[in-house]
Amino acid sequence: MAALHFPGESPAYRAARTALLKTEEDLRRQVEAVAAARRRLPLGGPVPEDYVFEEGPRDYNDRAPTRTVRLSQLFTPGKDTLVVYSFMFSQDMDHACPMCSSFLDGLDGNARHLEQRVNLAVVAKSPIERLRDFARARPWRNLRLLSSQKNAFNRDYHGDAEDGSQNSVIHTFVKRDGRVHHFYSSELAFAPSDPGQNPRHIDLMWPLWNVLDLTPEGRGADWYPKLS
């Protein structure tokens, strides 16, 4: 491929940029290799119970009564894959996690596209009306919000930490022969982080950090998104 050139660049800039391009190509191949290895995972364990969640209408402004829905009912006809995000917003927290909220801002915008291929839900251990109030205030429009306040989903799938605090984890479940199995969870959230870094277990799905990584300032050593 012929090297690109931009107005006013120096030979030193072009040499450094060409070297960086090689590392970007290597990273692209590594990202695909990881994704391919993930797709080859054997089937995980069957879910221990058909968890019952509470949810309201998809229109957050609709004040119709909430209802219960089982995990198995989150699979719509023709789609045997379910992606679930564990949102750090329990009934014991004064405020929702700002980092989770930032991630979900982006997921809300992509939900309609994702749901053409997979089922998608966001689970939090908080009363369903509290979740819906928060969604209206963001404002979100497209996320399927579920309360796990009255079931053991958070405990079983590590949304609850041992000290009672919350973890953010993204999960994939699949339906095979009429039974729901666990397929993948972002276990990198629980692995030791490199010095000066957070776990970054969902960073590849998060526009915020990927855009900041394009800048000379980078992510910043101590900057984090806020709720307002």
Note whether residue 103 is domain-resident.
Answer: yes
Q: What is the mean pLDDT of residues 103-129?
A: 98
pLDDT, residue 100, reads 98
Note whether residue 204 is domain-resident.
Answer: no
Q: What is the mean pLDDT of residues 188-195?
A: 94
In the chain, the number of structural domains is 1
Query: From CA 32, how far away is CA 34, in angstroms rounded?
Result: 5
Note whether residue 214 is domain-resident.
Answer: no
For residue range 127-178, list pLDDT tens digits in order.
Answer: 999 999 999 999 999 999 999 999 999 999 999 999 989 999 999 999 999 9
Q: Are 137 and 51 in contact (CB under 8 A)?
A: no
pTM: 0.95
| Average pLDDT value for the chain | 96
For residue range 16-55, list pLDDT tens digits in order.
Answer: 999 999 999 999 999 999 999 999 999 999 999 999 999 9
Nearest to 93 by CA among 184, 200, 168, 202: 168
User: Predicted confidence band at 1 (pLDDT cuts at 50, 70, 90)?
Assistant: low
CATH number for position 141: 3.40.30.10
**Whether the predicted pLDDT of 222 surpasses 90:** no
Domain containing 171 equals 52-187
What three-state secondary structure class fits 222? coil
Note whether residue 29 is domain-resident.
Answer: no
Note whether residue 83 is domain-resident.
Answer: yes
Q: What is the mean pLDDT of residues 187-208?
A: 94
Note whether residue 222 is domain-resident.
Answer: no
Strands 169-176 and 81-86: antiparallel
Query: From CA 187, how far away is CA 194, in angstroms rounded?
Result: 15
Note whether residue 183 is domain-resident.
Answer: yes
Note whether residue 132 is domain-resident.
Answer: yes
Q: Are 85 and 122 in contact (CB under 8 A)?
A: yes
